[in-house]
Amino acid sequence: MELVTVATFLVAGAASLFMAWAIGAGSSGSTPFAPAVGANAIAVMRAGLIVGVLGFLGAVLQGANVTEAVGTQLVGGVTLTAGAAIVALLTAAALVAVGVFAGYPIATAFTVTGSVVGVGLAMGGDPAWAKYAEIVTLWVLTPFVGGGIAFGAARLLITDRLPERPLTAGMAAVVGVVLANIGFALLGPDGESGSVAGVLGPKLGLEQVTGVALGSTLVTLGVAALVGLVVYLDLGRDREGGQRRFLLVMGALVAFSAGGSQVGLAIGPLVPLLGDDVPLTAVLAGGGFGLLVGSWTGAPRMIKALAQDYASMGPRRSIAALIPSFAIAQTAVAFGIPVSFNEIIVSAIVGAGYAAGEAGVSRKKMLYTVLAWVASLTLAFVLGYGIYSIGDWLLL
């Protein structure tokens, strides 16, 4: 391999690590435990340390789908070169880093998607309209679905219409349903993921009925019942302590999901460069390490911003915010759709905040955040397209 090629590849790798750091410091590192910090269930610095480790594990065990989507499915007809990857990653990372230091949660998925699409089109690629439709659909629905579910769950928890203990246990059972069906790299065959229900269900030896896999369904219901029962008993022993523990578990699940989704935004553009020479698991581990370092060094600032500036919520509303966040995040991971955890968490926080009559919700902050999301997508696309086009013209 020529020296120039090696140097270019090293620069692309460094850009990817910088992007991973920026994501860890901003999106995946700050958002999962922000509601828990806001509810005084965990300290800011401890949250940053824990989320870094969980993000690393999520990156290795669940990062393949989004990584491949970002690297190969956003533009058709061309393959990203090392130079294109450098431009896309540095453009997106710079915008995210500005958001981290300014205290505004820039949507990482918007910046990476915009820059990769901009660079890919500048290379002469074709728009991947079907993939764009999936991405935009999820982006548009997230605030309404996540915020709406968080609002409804919070209203149920903070009112006296239903008993709080069985209601919370029921919500935990819903989390159990998702847990039983999410994919993990360790459970599937080589190159694929497998879920607990998908692996254990067929071993029960039950036949399908009208297209429904009875074995997997029974495993799912069993996991849901077990999770709900554990939470129900824990709340019975210590209501406030049980709420805090459930909240921390939800934060951990969201942090794990963040790693599985966000690592693809950092290392996806490198996938076309590596081919089959480097195992994807090794690349995921490298990206996960970047997320971990970013979470440990930069996340506390953004955790504080989200926990204190958006809404002042107790454990119940924080739980209501994290449940839909976890479900949406895992949906994005399963379908390989790059999604912004800032958008997911902020929408859920606002929905749960409005359940108490807008208590603690800053409309001004939310307006600035939405404008920052739109501007980051547009600016990333324009800069990615423009910088690559200028560089390509200068090298002719």
| Residue 78 backbone dihedrals phi, psi, to 5 degrees | -140, 160
Dihedrals phi, psi of 40, to nearest 5 degrees: 60, 30
Three-class DSSP category at 75: strand
Distance separating alpha carbons of residues 210 and 130, to the nearest angstrom: 31
Whether the pLDDT of residue 21 is over 60: the answer is yes
Q: What is the DSSP letter of 206?
A: P
Backbone angles phi, psi at 233, to 5 degrees: -65, -40
Q: What is the pLDDT of residues 360-388, one digit of tens each?
A: 556 677 777 778 778 888 999 999 999 98
Question: What is the model's pLDDT at position 312?
Answer: 61
Please check the confidence at residue 177 and state whether its pLDDT lies above 90. Answer: yes
Three-state DSSP state, 302: helix
If residue 208 lies in a helix (H) or strand (E), which one and from where to where? strand 208-209
Is the per-residue pLDDT at 5 higher than 70? no
- Per-residue pLDDT, 3: 46
Q: What is the pLDDT of residues 211-226, one digit of tens each?
A: 667 888 899 999 999 9
Q: Which residues pair with 67 in a beta bridge?
A: none
Structure confidence by residue, pLDDT tens digits, 110-142: 889 999 999 999 999 999 999 999 999 999 899
pLDDT at residue 1 in the model:
43
* pLDDT-derived band at 4, boundaries 50, 70, 90: very low
Encode pLDDT of 270-293 as tens digits. 888 776 677 888 888 988 898 888
CA distance 202 to 308: 47
Contact residues for 358 (Cβ-Cβ < 8 A; gap 6+): none
Give me the mean pLDDT over the 332-346 stretch.
Answer: 86
Q: Which of 236, 238, 247, 261 is nearest to 66 (CA)?
A: 261
In this prediction, residue 79 has a pLDDT band, given cuts at 50, 70 and 90, of: confident
Q: Both tokens of residue 23? A: 């994501």
d(CA 345, CA 149): 12
- Phi, then psi, of 160 in degrees rounded to 5: -105, 20
Angle of CA points 77, 79, 80, to nearest 5°: 135
pTM for the model: 0.87
- Please determine, for residue 93, whether its predicted confidence score (pLDDT) is greater than 80: no
DSSP 203: G
pLDDT, mean over the chain: 83
Q: Is the pLDDT of residue 328 over 80?
A: yes
Question: DSSP alpha helices (H): ranges in 81-192?
Answer: 82-102, 108-122, 129-158, 164-181
Q: Which residues pair with 184 in a beta bridge?
A: 194
- What percent of the chain stands above pLDDT 70? 87
Phi, psi of 209 (to 5 degrees): -125, 115
The pLDDT, as a whole number, for residue 369 is: 73
Give the pLDDT of residue 127. 93
pLDDT tens by residue, 26-53? 666 667 777 777 767 777 788 888 888 9
Give me 19's structure tokens. Answer: 């992007």
Picking from 283, 266, 273, 288, the residue whose alpha carbon sits closest to that of residue 18 is 266
Q: Which residue has the higher pLDDT, 273 or 344?
A: 344
DSSP secondary structure string for all residues of 233-244: HHHHH-HHHHHH
Residues listed for the chain:
396
**Residue 215, CA atoms < 13 Å, CB-side half-sphere:** 14
> What is the C-alpha separation between 250 and 315, in angstroms, rounded?
11
Instruction: Work out the pLDDT band at 14, boundaries 50, 70, 90.
Output: confident
Q: Alpha helices of 310-340 — where are they, by DSSP H?
A: 315-335
Distance in angstroms (rounded) separating the CA atoms of residues 99 and 101: 6
Mean pLDDT, residues 5-17 taken together: 77
Q: What angle do CA 289, 293, 295 make, to 5 degrees?
A: 115
